[in-house]
Amino acid sequence: MKDTRTAPQRARPHAGPAWMIMALACACQFMVILDASIVNVALPSIREDLGFTPTGLAWVVNGYLLTFAGFMLLGGRAADLFGPRRMLVAGLLLFSVASLAGGLATAPQILVAARVAQGVGAAMLAPATLAVINTGFTEEHARARAFGAWSASGGVGGMAGAVAGGAITTGLSWRWVFLINVPIGVVLIVVAMMSLAGARTGRREPLDLTGAVTGTAGLAALIYGVMRSADHGWTSVLVVGPVVAGLLLLVVFTVVEARFSAQPMMPLRLFRIRGVAVGSGMLLLFGGIAIAMWYFTSLFLQNVLGFSALQAGLGQTPAAVTFMVIARWAAALLPRTGVRPLVLAGCGCFLAGFGWLAQAHADSGYVTSVLGPTLLIAVGIGLTFPTLMAAATADVPEGDAGIIGGLAQTANQVGGSVGLAVLATAAGAATQAGRSSLAAGYDRVFLMASGLGVAIAVVSLLLPRHRRD
């Protein structure tokens, strides 16, 4: 049995050519991930123009991330019930309108509300792109290539944010960080209407409202509490309260889905598929790896080596290009090798790359102490991310493609949020003042990230061995 097999062969339910469908899914994923990072460089200009307080300014970023992660499961199930095209178009429309409102905002409250709406639109879009790939590419090699391109587009979108945000803010205005999404969204809506069929892919059944409310509220409360830990500490009631409430709501969600819902939003039977259960667990751990690589390496370049935000983005561009190339190559290998060899090879790159990066100090040079290890880590990310996504969404019935796409991306987002909070705490505990102390804190983060790589390798052993037919 192959651990990357798909559901039984079926007719491709899309009207347009395969290349157009793949380009649409990749463009949507690129835009969603780009918008999570492009705003960062523009934050000082936004604060000056709109009069944000320091704590209020953080919600320009957090408002988007919170609703993006919190509504992803709901967006995935909606794609199954109402069809990927409907959800893709609705998500693009909401995302574009919210971007227009953000670009024209005249007060802090308007901009934060626009970012919250953007996050909901992104949560509708992201699972639908995976559902499009799962239902539109049924042949194993084509599906693997699609996952490679989709993964690369998201990774490049995250890295392009710093460079594009700096260029747009400097050359035009921070408002164009949002307004640029409007014409792009309109074009993508037209392409979606042309290339995707309108039929539903799932069963005709009502949305599980109890599950939707408890699951979405639980995820949102958990992520909200974790986000606040950076400012208030893990023992604060402002952190413990939302985290405990979120966990309790998720317990209620699980009980409702298992015992009381005739058509559950998250059918627990799907966790009997080993790839879904193990792949989601690995994606949860992988979220911390990605945060350590992109976020904390950027901080090291700026706070220790003295790079500007734009220089830091450019300094990470070689790693982004490497990731894009390796992700496409790994996707081509996946049908022949199976999941486990690629994951183990990627984890070896994590261990070596983060171990090397942890040796950097205040007087280190960029080429020898940052560029080399980040290229190695990027190889590991390119090998693992599309592979984990393929593992977590393989062998899934067509009618559940959306919810599994939402689950996979939710696991990755929650892992990133928790990883950011934990690693930031670890970095802060080792830093007092001065570049040398900051470098020591970031080195601790990189060592912890190498441990996450080992954990992913151990979990991957639960996957079935790949055997040729």
pLDDT single digits (tens) 113-147: 999 999 899 888 888 887 787 777 767 677 777 77
Last residue within a domain, chosen from 170, 197, 224: 197
User: Which residue would you say has higher pLDDT here, 317 or 354?
Assistant: 354
Measuring CA to CA, which residue among 195, 191, 178 is closest to residue 96?
A: 178
Stronger pLDDT, 19 or 202, i.e. the higher one: 19
Q: What confidence category does residue 309 fall into, taking pLDDT thresholds of 50, 70 and 90?
A: low
Asked if 21 contacts 50 with a C-beta cutoff of 8 angstroms, the reply is no
Asked which of 264, 283, 307 is the last residue of a domain, the reply is 264
Cα distance between residue 289 and residue 386, in whole Å: 14
**In the predicted model, is pLDDT for residue 200 greater than 60?**
no
Same domain membership, residue 20 and residue 132: yes
Does 260 share its domain with 278?
Answer: no
**Residue 164: its pLDDT value, please?**
72
Does 30 have pLDDT greater than 50? yes
Q: Are residues 231 and 188 in the same domain?
A: no
Asked whether the beta carbons of 401 and 273 are under 8 A apart, the reply is: no
457, 463, 467, 469 alpha-carbon torsion, rounded to 10°: -140
Residue type, position 95, single letter: F
Alpha carbon distance 125, 119 (integer Å): 10
Residue 131 lies in a domain: yes
Q: Is 179 inside a domain boundary?
A: yes
| Residue found under tokens 């966990």 | 247
Residues 189 and 302 in one domain: no
- Assigned token pair, 181: 């999404």
The CA-to-CA distance between both ends of the chain, in Å, stands at 7
pTM over 0.95: no
388 in a structural domain: yes
Mean pLDDT over 21-50 rounds to: 80
- What is the per-residue pLDDT for 8? 40
Same-domain status, 250 and 184: no
- Of residues 456 and 196, more confidence is placed in 456
Which CATH number does the domain housing residue 124 bear? 1.20.1250.20
pLDDT in tens, 228-246: 776 777 788 888 898 899 8
Number of domains, the chain: 3
Which of the listed residues 264, 286, 312 is the one where a domain comes to its end?
264
On the 0-12 / 13-18 / 19+ scale of CB atoms within 10 A, 364 is: middle
Residues 50 and 185 in one domain: yes
pLDDT of residue 79: 81
At 11 the pLDDT is 41
State which of 205-209, 282-286, 430-434 shows the largest mean pLDDT.
282-286
Residues near 48 by beta carbon (within 8 Å), at least 6 away in sequence: none
361 and 406 share one domain: yes
Average pLDDT, the chain: 80
Q: Is 7 inside a domain boundary? A: no
| 203 within some domain | no
CA distance 104 to 54: 21
Residues 328 and 409 in one domain: yes
Same domain (yes/no): 138, 238: no
92-103 pLDDT tens trace: 999 999 999 999
Residue 365 lies in a domain: yes
234 and 337 share a domain?
no
Q: Please give the average per-residue pLDDT across 267-278, as a whole number.
A: 80
> Using CA atoms, how far apart are residues 405 and 130, in angstroms rounded to an integer?
5
Shared-domain flag, residues 222 and 149: no
Confidence (pLDDT) at 245: 92
Q: Is residue 46 a contact partner of residue 111, using CB atoms and an 8 Å limit?
A: yes
**Residue 352 and residue 425: Cα distance in Å, rounded?**
24
Q: Where are the alpha helices (H) located in 264-399, listed in sequence order? A: 274-290, 297-299, 309-315, 317-337, 339-357, 366, 372-393
**Residue 425 belongs to domain spanning:** 270-469
Tell me the per-residue pLDDT of 145-186, one tens digit each, with 9 for 90 and over: 777 777 777 767 766 776 677 677 777 888 888 888 899 899
Give Cβ neighbours of residue 213 (< 8 Å, ≥ 6 apart).
Answer: none
Q: Tell me the pLDDT band of 5, cut-offs 50, 70 and 90.
A: very low
Q: What share of the chain is helix, strand, coil (3-state, %, to 5)?
A: 80, 0, 20
Q: Are residues 118 and 18 in the same domain?
A: yes
Q: Looking at the domain assignment, is residue 291 inside a domain?
A: yes
CA atoms within 13 A on the CB side of 325: 10
Please give the Cα distance from 434 to 442 (Å, whole number): 13
